[in-house]
Amino acid sequence: MSEIRTRFAPSPTGHVHIGNIRVAIFNWLFARHTGGRFLLRIEDTDQQRSTPAACRTLIEAMEWLGLNWDEPPLYQSARREAHLAAAERLLASGHAVREDKGGTGRGECIVFRMPGCDIEFDDLVKGRLRKAAADLKDFVIVRSDGHPVFHLANVLDDIEMGVTHVIRGDDHVENTFRHIALFRALGAPVPRYAHLPMIVNAQGKPYSKRDGDAYVGEFRDRGILADALFNYLALLGWSPGDGRELMTRTEMIEAFSLDGVQASPARFDMTKLLWMNGEYMRRLPPMERLDGHLRDLRAHGLDPDPAELLRVLEVMQDRIKVFSDTAAQTRYFFSDEYPVDAAAWRKRVARPGVLPALDELRRRWAEAGEWSAASLEAMLKATAAELQRPAADLIHAVRLAVSGTPAGPGLFAMLEVLGRDRVLRRLGRAIERASAVSASHDG
C-alpha cells in the first residue's frame, strides 16, 4: 500500500478545458515519476451534462495527449449505492444528521457535522494551510432528493480507488478542509494534497466561456501537435529547474517534482505555444506530418496527391509552424487560383524593364532541355547578365509571377516542384496582365 496512486477526476462535459487537462498532466507526470499509478474517475453524476458523447470527448482528449491510465476508469454514477450506504454509516456514528437544512421545506437531507476543531494540512505546493473551526461550516452530503453530493462521492471514491495523492486545481483548497474531516469520520487515511494554481488568460483573468482557444479539441483542430501542447502545459507552473524547456516525455517524467510547482497562477501564452509547436513540427519527418497537412488542405478545398505534397513539404522545409497554416502557405502548388500580393507585385513585376526580361526568360525555359533547380538557376543568371540586370530583379519577379507572394521557399527548388508547364503558363499570364496594366496607364 505504499504505492503512489494519483487520479484525474473530471466531470465530463462536451469540452475539456486546458486548465483541467493540465491537472491531468501533473497527476500523470507525478505518477510516472514515482512509479505509481495514474487513475481515471469520471464524475458523471450530473445527468444533464454527462452524456455519452461528453465522456467520449474527454477520453479522446486524454488519448490524444497520451495520458494513459493504469486501471479501468471508475464511473461515479455506478457508485451511488455505496455512497448512500456510507452516508447511513455516518448517520449511525453520529457524524451526520438528517434535517431540513435552512428550513427550505424540501424535506430532509443529510448534513455532515464538522468536528468543531481547527483543521490543517501540508499542501505539497502551497505549504501549511490552516482553517479555524469557526470558519468551517457543516455541509450537505445527501440532498433531499436522495442524491449524494460531490464532497461525499469524491471522498468515498478516492478511498475506493486507494488514492494517495490528490493533485487538483486551486479552486478546491476550501473543499479540502471538509474532505479531510470526511476522511477522518470515515476512518480512512487522509491523502496528501497538492493544489495547482490556475491558468489565466492573456489578460490575466480566469478563463471563461468567452475565451477562445481554451478547449483541448480546439488546439487539435487548429493543428497543434499533442506533444507540443503537453510540453507547453507541463511548463505552466512547473520547470525542471535547469532551464530546459523542450523536453521529451521521458525527460519530463524523470525531472518532475511537485517541489518545482509554482504557487502563483500562470498566464497562457499562445505565442509561446506556437513557437514550441514549430519546434516539434520541424523535428517531425515529413511522412509523419503528411496527415496533418493533408487535413488542412482538404479543409480548404484542395486535395493533392500525397507524393506531390511530400515534395512540396520538402522544399517548404520548416516554414509551416502549425498545420492550420498549410493551405495558406502552399495553395499555389496545388491550384492556379491563389491570391496575389498587390503591393509586392507593383514593386517587383510592374517595373520598367522587367517584362521583357521575364519574356526572354520564359522563352529560354520553354526550350530548356533539363528542368532542374540547378539548370534553371544557371539560365536565369545568364539571362540577367546578358540583359545587364541584377539577377535579384528577375528572381523576385519570377517568384511573384508563379506564387503571388514575396515569401516562400528557395525559388529554384520551388520552380522545379511546380514543373515546366505551370511555370511557363503563369509566367505568360503574368506578362499578359502586367502589359495590359501598363498599356492602360500609357493610354
Residues 278 to 307: which contact RNA by CB under 7 A? Answer: none
User: Catalytic residue numbers?
Assistant: 209
Q: Cβ closer to RNA: 89 or 106?
A: 106
**Nearest distance from C-beta of residue 172 to RNA, angstroms:** 6
- DSSP single-letter state for residue 437: H
C-alpha cell belonging to residue 251? 525527460
**Nearest distance from C-beta of residue 1 to RNA, angstroms:** 27
Q: Cβ closer to RNA: 298 or 364?
A: 364
On whether the CB atoms of residues 6 and 167 are closer than 8 A, the answer is yes
Residues 6+ apart with CB under 8 A from 374: 412
Q: Cβ closer to RNA: 98 or 420?
A: 98
Task: State the DSSP string of 354-374.
Answer: HHHHHHHHHHHHHT-S---HH
Q: By 3-state DSSP, what share of the chain in percent is helix, strand and coil, each rounded to 5?
A: 55, 10, 35
Single out the residue of 79, 220, 399, 426 in contact with RNA (rule: CB under 7 A).
399
CA 88 vs CA 102, 138, 168, 186: distances in Å: 21, 17, 28, 11
Using CB under 7 A, which residues numbered 348 to 367 contact RNA? none
401 makes contact with RNA (CB under 7 A): no
277 makes contact with RNA (CB under 7 A): no
Using CB under 7 A, which residues numbered 242 to 261 contact RNA? 242-243, 245, 260
210 makes contact with RNA (CB under 7 A): no
- DSSP single-letter state for residue 319: G
272 makes contact with RNA (CB under 7 A): yes
Residues 6+ apart with CB under 8 A from 76: 41, 42, 43, 44, 45, 153, 157
Task: Give the whole-angstrom CA distance, residue 383 versus residue 360.
Answer: 8
**Nearest distance from C-beta of residue 158 to RNA, angstroms:** 13
Q: Which stretch binds RNA (CB under 7 A): 24-32, 43-51, 303-311, 434-442?
A: 43-51
Sheet strand arrangement including 109-112: 96-99, 109-112, 139-142
- DSSP single-letter state for residue 102: G
Using CB under 7 A, which residues numbered 46 to 105 contact RNA? 46, 100-102, 104
Q: Cβ closer to RNA: 3 or 251?
A: 251
Single out the residue of 36, 237, 292, 404 in contact with RNA (rule: CB under 7 A).
237
Task: Give the whole-angstrom CA distance, residue 377 versus residue 245.
Answer: 41
- Where b means 16+ CB within 10 Å and e means fewer, 361-381 reads bbeebeeeeeeebeebbebbe
**Nearest distance from C-beta of residue 264 to RNA, angstroms:** 3
116 makes contact with RNA (CB under 7 A): no
Q: Which of 310, 301, 306 is nearest to 331 (CA)?
A: 301
Task: Give the whole-angstrom CA distance, residue 324 versus residue 221.
Answer: 8
404 makes contact with RNA (CB under 7 A): no
On whether the CB atoms of residues 224 and 280 are closer than 8 A, the answer is no
Q: Cβ closer to RNA: 46 or 60?
A: 46
* C-alpha R_g of the chain: 31
160 makes contact with RNA (CB under 7 A): no
Q: Which stretch binds RNA (CB under 7 A): 59-67, 222-230, 364-372, 391-399?
A: 391-399
Q: Compute the half-sphere exposure of residue 183: CA atoms within 13 Å on the CB side of its CA.
A: 24
**Nearest distance from C-beta of residue 440 to RNA, angstroms:** 28
Return phi, psi of residue 261, to 5°: -85, 135
Q: Cβ closer to RNA: 199 or 443?
A: 199
Using CB under 7 A, which residues numbered 326 to 345 contact RNA? none
**Nearest distance from C-beta of residue 87 to RNA, angstroms:** 13
Binding mask 414-443 for RNA (x = CB under 7 A): ------------------------------
Residue the block writes with cell 457543516: 138
Single out the residue of 58, 180, 395, 431 in contact with RNA (rule: CB under 7 A).
395
**Nearest distance from C-beta of residue 70 to RNA, angstroms:** 22
Question: How many residues belong to the site for RNA (CB under 7 A)?
Answer: 76
Residues 6+ apart with CB under 8 A from 72: none
411 makes contact with RNA (CB under 7 A): yes
Single out the residue of 14, 241, 306, 356 in contact with RNA (rule: CB under 7 A).
241
**Nearest distance from C-beta of residue 233 to RNA, angstroms:** 10
